[in-house]
Amino acid sequence: MKRQYYLVIICFILFSVFCVFQSIPKEYEFQNTADEGYYFKCVNTIYENGFSYFPSLVKDYLANPSSYFNHPPSRIGYILLAVLHFKIFGPSFTTLAIFSFFCYILFILVAFSFSSKFFGRAIAYPFALLIASSPLLISIGRSALVDSAFNL
C-alpha cells in the first residue's frame, strides 16, 4: 500500500481519538446514582482507606441486599488500576473517564499490534481505524465505566 494511504488512516484514527477526548463529560454531568457513581464510590473507598479495606467493601456489599442492584465489587483489577489512577490524577468522575479513555487508546494499540502480527499491516491499519471509529467503543471510551478496561 502507499504511504499516503497509511497516513490518511492514521489521521482518521487520531481524529477519532481526539473526538473521544473532547467529548469526555465534565464533572457536573456525571450521575452519582448511576453505574459511574457506584464505580466511583468503590474506587474512592479503596483510595481513601487503602487496599486492606477491600474485604470490608465486599462485606458491606453482601450485608446490604439493596446493593445487589449494583455491580459487585469483585472487579478487583479494575478497582486497583483505577485507584492507582486516582493517586496520580486525584479522585473525580473525570479521572475515571480519563482512565477509560486511556484504556480505549491502549485497546486500539493492542488491536493494531495483534492484527499486524497475524494479518499484516495492510489489514492492521483499516482494522485499527474501524476500532477507533466504532460508536460503541467511542461511547464507552469517554464514560466512567469499567467496560473500556474490560476490552483489554
**Backbone φ and ψ of 41, nearest 5°:** -60, -45
Q: Specify the pLDDT at position 72.
A: 77
How far apart CA 69 and CA 143 sit, in angstroms, is 20
119, pLDDT greater than 70: yes
Q: Residues for the chain: how many in total?
A: 152
pLDDT band at 1 (very low <50, low <70, confident <90, very high): low
Q: Is 148 exposed, middle or buried (0-12, 13-18, 19+ CB in 10 A)?
A: buried
109, pLDDT greater than 90: yes
Q: What is the mean pLDDT of residues 138-147?
A: 84
105 neighbors 115 (Cβ within 8 angstroms)? no
17 neighbors 132 (Cβ within 8 angstroms)? yes
Q: What is the mean pLDDT of residues 66-86?
A: 83
**Backbone φ and ψ of 145, nearest 5°:** -120, 170
Amino acid at 97: A
59 neighbors 73 (Cβ within 8 angstroms)? no
Residues in CB range of 125: below 8 A, 6 or more apart: 1, 5, 6, 9, 10, 112
pTM over 0.75: yes
